[in-house]
């Protein structure tokens, strides 16, 4: 949805209905993406399926790997009712067993 002001289009800011967070999935080692074991690769495939399910439900707005030359990491933006809901999502992610999550609240999501 957009709002027009004096001929300009201003994106609608989503403040009210959900809390938005940016998530970083930091790998257990810098070369993780290149050196995954078969077990780690299977766990990461389960991780993708887990977050794809939440993407389809609308809880996750976007997620995927970031190809930072220093170390590949995961990035996601989620919309939840509470921080506890976010923490439960992280705790139930198969990849959380071998990697570390970091998250921060967002003031608003512009769509």
DSSP string, 9-47: EEEPEE-SS-EEEEEEEE-SSTTHHHH--HHHHHHHHHH
Tokens matching residue 16 = 């009210």
CATH class as words, domain 15-110:
alpha beta
* In the predicted structure, residue 24 carries a pLDDT above the cut 50: yes
* In the predicted structure, residue 8 carries a pLDDT above the cut 70: no
Structural domain boundaries in the chain: 15-110
- Which band of pLDDT confidence, cut at 50, 70 and 90, is reported for residue 7? low
Ramachandran class of 58: left when φ > 0, alpha when ψ lies in -120 to 50, beta otherwise: left
* In the predicted structure, residue 96 carries a pLDDT above the cut 80: yes
Ramachandran class of 8: left when φ > 0, alpha when ψ lies in -120 to 50, beta otherwise: beta
pTM given for the model? 0.82
- Which band of pLDDT confidence, cut at 50, 70 and 90, is reported for residue 111? low
Tokens matching residue 81 = 């009712």
Any idea which residue has 């570390």 for tokens? Answer: 100
Any idea which residue has 């403040």 for tokens? Answer: 15
């Amino acid at each position: 949805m957009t709002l027009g002001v004096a001929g300009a289009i201003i994106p609608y800011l989503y403040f009210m209905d959900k809390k938005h967070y940016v998530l970083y999935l930091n790998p257990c080692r810098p070369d993780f993406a290149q050196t995954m074991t078969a077990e780690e690769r299977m766990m990461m495939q389960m991780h993708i399926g887990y977050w794809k399910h939440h993407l389809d439900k609308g809880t996750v707005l976007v997620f995927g790997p970031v190809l930072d030359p220093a170390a590949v990491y995961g990035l996601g933006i989620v919309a939840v009712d509470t921080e506890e809901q976010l923490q439960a999502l992280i705790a139930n992610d198969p990849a959380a067993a071998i990697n570390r999550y970091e998250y921060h609240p967002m003031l608003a999501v512009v769509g």
